[in-house]
Structures are given as C-alpha cells and as structure tokens.
Chain A
Amino acid sequence: MAKVTFVTTDGTEVSISDANGSLMEIATANGVDEIEGACGGVCACCTCHVKIRPEWLGKVGKAEEAEQDMLDEEDGTDERSRLGCQVELTDDLDGLVVDVVPL
C-alpha cells in the first residue's frame, strides 16, 4: 500500500493513498482523466502513458523491451515516459508523482 499522485494536463493533482496495483489500474479505478487503459494492461494500446517525475526515475526503473518498443513509436514520449500498466506501485514508491500525458 502506497500513495501516488497523478498530475493531469490542466494541473489538477489527484492523490490516491493506500493504493495498489499498476498505475493504470489505480488511475482507471479512480477516474483519473486521460488514462484509459484500453487493452487492460498488456502493452497493446499506449492509452496509459505517464511521465515519471525526474526524482523518481531511478526507483521506478526502466521499461522492458515490449514496453520500450511501444513508447519509441508514440508521439510525445521522452526518457521519463512509461506505460502506466507496466509500473506496479510497490511500497518503495510511496509518494510517487507522475504526469499524465494526454491521449
């Protein structure tokens, strides 16, 4: 159980405490705008794109190959980009802040 904050494009912060699961699952369960999770978390849609705040990048870690391939082909991705469905919110990530990328 950990806390995570999603910052949407209009600057709204949505914080969820005691969350678990992937960032996509947490965001969709809590109605965070612009995170759709269309494929349900199998790396087939990119509708869960988030950017990790720089201070968290080390702890969150890098994308695996299938995820990186998807990100490489999306517009507007950079080295902070991850697919929310591939990031599990573990206790080490308590306090994590991510920016939501518009669909």
Chain B
Amino acid sequence: MPECPYRDPFKEARRKSPVLETEFDGEPVAMLVGHKAVRTAARDHATFSSDAPFRVPIPREEDVRTVRQYPLEVDPPVHAEYRRLIDPFFRRPLEPAYVQRIENLIEELLVDALKRDSIEIVRQFAIPLQSRALTYLLNMPESEAEIWITWGTHVFRDESGVSKGAEMEAYTNSLFDQAESDPGDDFFSALVKARFDGRPLTREEMQGYANIAFAGGRDTIINSVATAFGLLADQPSALIAMRANPKLIITASEELFRFASPVTHLARICPVDTSVHGVDVPAGNLVSLNWAAANFDDSVFDDPEQFQIDRKPNPHIAFGKGVHNCPGAAHARVIIRGLFKKLTEMISAITIVSERRKVEKEADYERVNAYHELTVKLESSASSPDCK
C-alpha cells in the first residue's frame, strides 16, 4: 500500500518567515511556525505571558468555562508553586505497576475489539481507554470513567456542537464537596488538602486544576490513539518492524507525538507592545506558539512529512517547552507505548473500513488533526481462533 505522506499546512509560511500573521476570533494573532522561534518564545514568559485566563487556548474559552486553568494560565514565579501541588500525581506513571495496569487495560480493550467484525476506534476504543486510564492517573475508582465517557472527544467543543463544560464544572464541584467531607487519596482530595504558600486553595483554584485535567488530558490522548491506528493501517511495515524490534516502540511513540502533534498551538499574550520577528504586536494581543508547525520544520527534522518510527534524535515539542511543559506527558507515553506493545503482540493487520478526518479550518490554513470517526478491522496475530 502506498505510504501517504501528511501535508504540513505551515510549510509555505515557514519558508517565508518564522511568523505567520493570521487571525482568530476576529483578532490578529502572530503565529510562530519555526521550531527555534517557538522554543525561544516558550521560554520567554516576560515577553510572552500565560497570565491570561481563558486565552491560552485558541479559540478563547470564556464561553465554555468559568474558571482560570491552573497551572496553565499563570506565569512564573507563582507558576512553580501551582505546579508543585500536582506533580506527585503526574509522576505516578513512572511506577512499573502503573505501566502494567495500562497495558492490561489496553489488552482488555483489544480482546474485546477482536470479537467484533470492525470497531470504531474513536468512540469504542480511544474514549474508553482515555477515560479509564485517567482514573488511574487521578487515583479515582475506575467506575467514574462511565461518566467521563459521555463527554465525547472534546469536553468543550465536541463535533455535536454541545459543550459539556458546564456539566463538567458541576460534576468536579461535587467531587470537591465530597472530598471536603470525606477526603481520600485521589487528585481532588489532594487539592482540598493542599497548601499554597501556607493557605488552602480557593474552590475556584481547585476547579481550575480539575478543568484542565479533564479538558487538556482528553482530546490529546484520544487523538493520539486514533492517529496511531490510522498511521499503522497506512503503514503496515511499521507494525512489522516494531514486532521484530521492540526497541522501536519507544522511538515510534515519540514519532507519533511529533507527527500527530495533538495540540496544534497555544497562545501567549504580550503585556507590552512587542516586535515579534518584525511583526508588531500591540500590548494585550496574542502570539501563538504553533507546536505542530515547529514539529515539521525541515531545518530540524529530515523529511518531516514522513512518519519514521526510528527517528532519532527527535527533538519534537508536542508537549510544549519550558516551565509549562506538559505534566501529562509521562501518562501519554505510557499509553502510547503500551498501545504499540500490545498491538505488536496481538494484532497482525489493521485495515481501514471508513474514516472521517477532523480538519481545523482557520483563516489562513487547514490542518488535518486526527479523526471524527475511524472504523477499522483488526486481525488477530494468534494463528488459530481463541477456543476457550
């Protein structure tokens, strides 16, 4: 089967300049599209600030949530204290038992998938995997995932057009009520018990942490998982190579994060008038850090539009860069490595039955990012059918 290269929508723009002048929500945005330009800006919080509630995501999110997200939407020095409070949870994926638990979950989902003629990966595989895995990260009962599964691919902007933002805020608020009356060892109880510079967190801050844990940790994982299936179906040689050499699972996972770049871009606000590579950005206006564009910069990556599972070095910035770099990366890595591992062990072929790509249609570009729907047939690598 021909290996279909992805088309990087920022290629032309990046050849001309590291910054693309575009617009979102009817406002000008200076979008950084070169690897070096994005990296450097991500570390310069004085010039490019995250102290901008609702505005770090693009489009802006006043319409879908009522709380500032922590630690995303604050700058150093307070950022470090906000971040410290949640780090122990985000380090849980480094424990071997956690890795095992994720692998068992993936195996269970694949066993179930193999019983069907075909499976719709987004809703029948990726969403349950993401939601159940998140209960491990947040140390919640696995049964809670049943509620989270009903929120769709993106809590705020599912394709149905209905935002689950208000429902989610009411739900997390009730979790904090419960944690206050009967604290346990979960993420929500930890926030209730936490001390920020000696004081308890306000309920609004707690809600801000919960908000990004659910919203930020959701479509990113779902899109990575669906893209992994799509790529392996298009490029069967990749699955075969990983099976022959399991060391490739690690490099292939990093390549997946680069190639999928599930978070296209995020914003920073300029507190004062700033010249950004020759583009004038007035105080209060936005600069976009385009991680996806940076990850296809051919001054850093050879043949960036090819998915090369043995790519090394691979200094992608799919998880951001600098102090805000993604704390969920360890969890995401355990999931994707576990998925590749179990696919090599259990599946001999993935064939696409039907697909509907998700396209980000913006003023100056269209970017294909993952799938609304991806139905595949999976073939078991066990030579004879299971005869239990």
- Whether A and B are associated in the same complex: the answer reads yes
Q: A: which residues have CB within 8 A of B?
A: 36, 38-45, 64, 66-67, 69-70, 73, 86
Beyond A40-B251, A45-B329, 20 additional contacts (C-beta under 8 Å) are A36-B94, A38-B333, A39-B254, A39-B333, A40-B254, A42-B313, A43-B312, A43-B313, A43-B314, A43-B315, A44-B316, A44-B317, A64-B313, A66-B313, A67-B313, A69-B36, A69-B39, A69-B315, A70-B315, A73-B322
Sampled A-B contacts (25; CB under 8 Å): A36-B94, A38-B333, A39-B254, A39-B314, A40-B250, A40-B251, A41-B250, A42-B313, A42-B315, A43-B312, A43-B314, A43-B315, A44-B254, A44-B313, A44-B314, A44-B316, A66-B313, A67-B313, A69-B39, A69-B300, A69-B315, A73-B40, A73-B43, A73-B321, A86-B313
Q: Does B189 reach chain A (CB closer than 8 Å)?
A: no
- In the bound complex, residues from chain B placing their C-beta under 8 Å from that of A42 are 250-251, 254, 311-315
Secondary structure at the B interface, as helix, strand, loop or mixed, is helix
Q: Using CB atoms, name the residue of chain A closest to B301.
A: A66
How close is A75's CB to chain B, nearest CB, in angstroms?
9
Binary flags per residue of B224-265, CB closer than 8 Å to A gives 1, else 0: 000000000000000000000000001101100000000000
Which of A38, A43, A86 touches B329 (beta carbons < 8 Å)?
A38
The complex places the Cα of A39 from the Cα of B329 at a distance, in Å, of: 9
The complex places the Cα of A36 from the Cα of B95 at a distance, in Å, of: 12
B40, B94, B300, B313, most chain A CB atoms within 10 A: B313
The complex places the Cα of A26 from the Cα of B100 at a distance, in Å, of: 22
- In the bound complex, residues from chain A placing their C-beta under 8 Å from that of B330 are 38
The complex places the Cα of A44 from the Cα of B39 at a distance, in Å, of: 12
The complex places the Cα of A38 from the Cα of B94 at a distance, in Å, of: 9
Give the 10 A-B residue pairs with the shortest CB-CB distance, closest first.
A40-B250, A43-B313, A42-B314, A66-B313, A43-B315, A42-B254, A66-B315, A42-B312, A44-B315, A44-B316
The complex places the Cα of A41 from the Cα of B310 at a distance, in Å, of: 12
Secondary structure at the A interface, as helix, strand, loop or mixed, is loop
How close is B218's CB to chain A, nearest CB, in angstroms?
21
Q: Using CB atoms, name the residue of chain A closest to B321.
A: A73
- In the bound complex, residues from chain A placing their C-beta under 8 Å from that of B40 are 73
- In the bound complex, residues from chain B placing their C-beta under 8 Å from that of A36 are 94
- In the bound complex, residues from chain B placing their C-beta under 8 Å from that of A40 are 250-251, 253-254, 333
The complex places the Cα of A73 from the Cα of B253 at a distance, in Å, of: 24
- In the bound complex, residues from chain A placing their C-beta under 8 Å from that of B329 are 38, 45
- In the bound complex, residues from chain A placing their C-beta under 8 Å from that of B253 are 40
- In the bound complex, residues from chain A placing their C-beta under 8 Å from that of B314 are 39, 42-44
Contact present for A66 and B311 (CB under 8 Å)? no
- In the bound complex, residues from chain B placing their C-beta under 8 Å from that of A41 are 250, 312
- In the bound complex, residues from chain B placing their C-beta under 8 Å from that of A86 are 313
- In the bound complex, residues from chain A placing their C-beta under 8 Å from that of B316 are 44
A40, A69, A70, most chain B CB atoms within 10 A: A40
- In the bound complex, residues from chain A placing their C-beta under 8 Å from that of B300 are 66, 69
The complex places the Cα of A87 from the Cα of B40 at a distance, in Å, of: 25
Q: Using CB atoms, name the residue of chain A closest to B329.
A: A38
Binary flags per residue of B56-87, CB closer than 8 Å to A gives 1, else 0: 00000000000000000000000000000000
The complex places the Cα of A39 from the Cα of B251 at a distance, in Å, of: 8
How close is B232's CB to chain A, nearest CB, in angstroms?
19
Contact present for B39 and A73 (CB under 8 Å)? yes
The complex places the Cα of A42 from the Cα of B314 at a distance, in Å, of: 5
How close is B103's CB to chain A, nearest CB, in angstroms?
16
How close is A57's CB to chain B, nearest CB, in angstroms?
21
How close is B329's CB to chain A, nearest CB, in angstroms?
7
- In the bound complex, residues from chain B placing their C-beta under 8 Å from that of A39 are 254, 314, 333
